[in-house]
Structure 1
Amino acid sequence: MNSSSLKPSRSYNSDLLLLVVYWLLASPIIYSSYRHDFGVERALAGILYTILLDSAAVYLLVFRFLPLALQRRNAVVVLASITVFVVLDAHCYLFGYQLLFSKHPLHWSAQEVLNSIIQHTQSYGMLGILMAGKRYFEVQKRLLQTQKAQTESELRNLKAQIDPHFLFNNLNVLRGLIQQDPAEANAYLGRFANLYRFLIRHKDDDFVTMAEELQFVNEYIYLLRHRFGAAYSFRQELAEAAELERLLVVPGTLQLLVENAIKHNAGDEDDALLITIKVTETELVVWHALRPKLTPVDSTGLGLSNLRERYKLLFNKAIGVENSGAVFSVTVPMVRQAQTWSAA
Structure 2
Amino acid sequence: MKLQLQRPCRSDLLLVGVYWLLAAPIIFYSYQHQTVVPRAIATILYTILLDSVAVYLLVFGFLPLALARLKPWALFGGLVLFVLVDAHCYWLGYHLLLDPKPLHWHFPVILNAVMQHTQSYGMLGILLAGKRYFDVQQRLLLTQKAQTESELRNLKAQIDPHFLFNNLNVLRVLMQHDPAEADAYLTRFAALYRFLIRHKDDDFVPLSDELRFVDEYIYLLRHRFGSAYAFRQELPPEMDLTTRMVVPGTLQLLVENAIKHNTGDDDAPLLITIRADAASIAVVHPRRPKRTAVDSMGTGLTNLRERYRLLTNQEILVTDAAGTFSVAVPLVALATSWSTPQQLVAQ
The TM-score, its normalising length taken from structure 1, stands at: 0.91
**1:51 aligns to what?**
48
Q: Is the 8 A contact 1:173 1:226 kept in 2?
A: no
Letter in 1 for 2:168: F
**1:299 aligns to what?**
296
**2:307 aligns to what?**
310
**1:202 aligns to what?**
199
Question: Aligned residue pairs: how many?
Answer: 331
**1:87 aligns to what?**
84
In 1, distance between residues paired with 2:256 and 2:184?
A: 22
Q: Is the 8 A contact 1:320 1:332 kept in 2?
A: yes
**2:104 aligns to what?**
107
- 1:132-143 mapped onto 2 (5 Å cutoff): 132-143=129-140
Q: Is the 8 A contact 1:208 1:249 kept in 2?
A: yes
- 1:174-253 mapped onto 2 (5 Å cutoff): 175=175, 179=179, 181=180, 187-253=184-250
**1:167 aligns to what?**
167
Letter in 2 for 1:175: M
Q: Is the 8 A contact 1:174 1:189 kept in 2?
A: no
- 1:22-41 mapped onto 2 (5 Å cutoff): 22-41=19-38
Deviations 1:157-177 (A, max 9, x none): 112223132231343366368
Does the residue aligned with 2:232 lie in a helix, a strand or coil?
Answer: strand
Match of 1:286 among 266, 283, 286: 283
Moved more, 209-218 or 19-28: 19-28
Match of 1:158 among 152, 155, 160: 155
Letter in 1 for 2:291: L
Q: Is the 8 A contact 2:263 2:290 kept in 1?
A: yes
Cα offset, 1:48, TM superposition? 1.1
- RMSD of Structure 2 on Structure 1 (CA): 2.0
Letter in 1 for 2:192: L
Q: Is the 8 A contact 1:241 1:281 kept in 2?
A: no
Q: Is the 8 A contact 2:171 2:185 kept in 1?
A: no
- 1:260-271 mapped onto 2 (5 Å cutoff): 260-271=257-268
Deviations 1:239-284 (A, max 9, x none): 1232211111111110110000100111111211110000111111
Deviations 1:263-307 (A, max 9, x none): 011111121111000011111111111111111111111111111
Does the residue aligned with 1:161 lie in a helix, a strand or coil?
Answer: helix
In 2, distance between residues paired with 1:171 and 1:156?
A: 28
Q: Is the 8 A contact 2:228 2:265 kept in 1?
A: yes
In 2, distance between residues paired with 1:79 and 1:339?
A: 49
Distance 1:169 1:341, change over 3 A: same
Structure 2 residue 272 is the aligned partner of structure 1 residue 275: yes
In 1, distance between residues paired with 2:234 and 2:177?
A: 32
Does the residue aligned with 2:328 lie in a helix, a strand or coil?
Answer: strand
Letter in 1 for 2:252: Q
In 2, distance between residues paired with 1:129 and 1:199?
A: 52
**1:4 aligns to what?**
none
Cα offset, 1:57, TM superposition? 0.1
**1:328 aligns to what?**
325
Q: Is the 8 A contact 2:35 2:98 kept in 1?
A: yes
**2:345 aligns to what?**
none
- Percent identity reads 63
Match of 1:127 among 117, 124, 127: 124
For structure 1, the residue ranges without an aligned partner over 5 or more in a row are: 1-7
Letter in 2 for 1:236: Q
In 2, distance between residues paired with 1:168 and 1:191?
A: 12
Letter in 2 for 1:303: G
Cα offset, 1:186, TM superposition? 5.8
Letter in 2 for 1:320: L
Does the residue aligned with 1:305 lie in a helix, a strand or coil?
Answer: helix
Letter in 1 for 2:110: V
Cα offset, 1:212, TM superposition? 1.1
In 1, distance between residues paired with 2:212 and 2:279?
A: 19
Letter in 2 for 1:149: A
